[in-house]
Amino acid sequence: AIQEVDKIWHNGKLVPWKEATTHVMTHALLYGTCAFEGIRAYKTDHKGTCIFRNKAHIDRLFYSAKVYYIDIPFTRQEILDAAAETVRANGLESAYIRINANLGYGEVGPYSLDCPTDVSIVAFPWGRYLGDEAMAKGIKVGVSSWRRSAPGTIPAGVKAAGNYLSSRLITIEAKKRGYTEGIGLAHDGTVSEGAGENLFVVRNGRIITPPFAASILGGITRDSVITLASKLGYEVVEQNLPREMLYAADEIFLTGTAAEVTKVASVDDHEVGDGHYPIADKIQKTFFGLFTGETEDEWGWLEPIEK
């Protein structure tokens, strides 16, 4: 269940949680026309509460909105500030922040270039998406029978509500089969990503992750991990992976705002490697080190929320 808080930022104003409602004929509900972001705010040991890569998320929000012809009637800076304000107004030390740019009420039909856009920002407490045990030991995943959307169909690199019908099919099928998460293959049968996470394979000391062309969402955690891994001295390559490479991997891990850095213990009941994760452990530790100060934030990724 969602943990309710006091206020939601709705079209420029903080309103009580229960009042942030929308009409049943909202375009986004009818056609999935909602560009959105999921962002985390962390309680850090050295800089108070910080939003992690707020700016990168807001840039992706505007990109997703542009692709689907959703006008956002606020500037990037206004949305950036509003995200921080929403965390602060609810007195949250850490939070998951969901920003929605919904095509609103006014027209029926997918065309609708004149619908108003409803922008909302919700910040609420949210722990480990895949659980604490998952973070320590790794999760069991299964390759889905559902493929990710092919290039030239629904743009997989865009974060919009309608795109998540694909994630829903992949993740529900996986859970019904006893896995914690499902992995989608791209249209050509190469590995794409998890239902809500990007995927990395470690093999012979190299780190490999599928490229944008493999119908992935360009994850901000993926980008952070590529940067951190390179900084640690690892070779990281973006390359197509045949499915069986998942069974040949020494290590596999998933990344995402919700999943953070999560190791994979098995794929389709094949254990990954020999059960040791030297590289994934190091990357996980370096990633979480950003929030304790142990990893230096050379990139300005931590954006402190002024009290």
Per annotation, catalytic residue among 13, 159, 175, 282: 159
- Answer yes or no whether residue 182 interacts with ligand PMP by CB under 6 A: no
What residue is closest to ligand PMP based on CB?
Answer: 219
Between 27 and 222, name the residue whose CB sits nearer to ligand PMP.
Answer: 222
Spatial distance between the Cα atoms of 120 and 143, rounded to a whole number of angstroms: 34
Least distance in angstroms from the C-beta of 219 to ligand PMP: 3
CB within 8 A of 94, min separation 6: which ones?
A: 40, 41, 42, 43, 49, 125
- Binding-site size for ligand PMP (CB under 6 A) equals 14
Contacting ligand PMP within 39-78 (CB under 6 A): none
* Residue window 245-284: x/- pattern of binding to ligand PMP, with contact defined by CB under 6 A: ----------xxx---------------------------
Residue type, 279: I
Least distance in angstroms from the C-beta of 188 to ligand PMP: 18
Dihedral class, residue 305 (left if φ above 0, else alpha if ψ from -120 to 50, else beta): beta
Residue 159 is among the residues annotated as catalytic for this protein: yes
Least distance in angstroms from the C-beta of 275 to ligand PMP: 25
Between 142 and 256, name the residue whose CB sits nearer to ligand PMP.
Answer: 256
Give per-residue burial for 220-233: e unless 16+ CB within 10 Å, then b.
bbbebbbebbeeee
- Answer yes or no whether residue 222 interacts with ligand PMP by CB under 6 A: yes
DSSP string, 148-196: PPPTTSS-TTS-BGGGHHHHHHHHHHHHHTT-SEEEEEPTTSBEEEESS
Spatial distance between the Cα atoms of 152 and 65, rounded to a whole number of angstroms: 17
* Joined tokens for residue 111: 């065309």
Catalytic residues: 159
Interface with ligand PMP (CB under 6 A) = 38, 167, 193, 196-198, 217, 219-222, 255-257
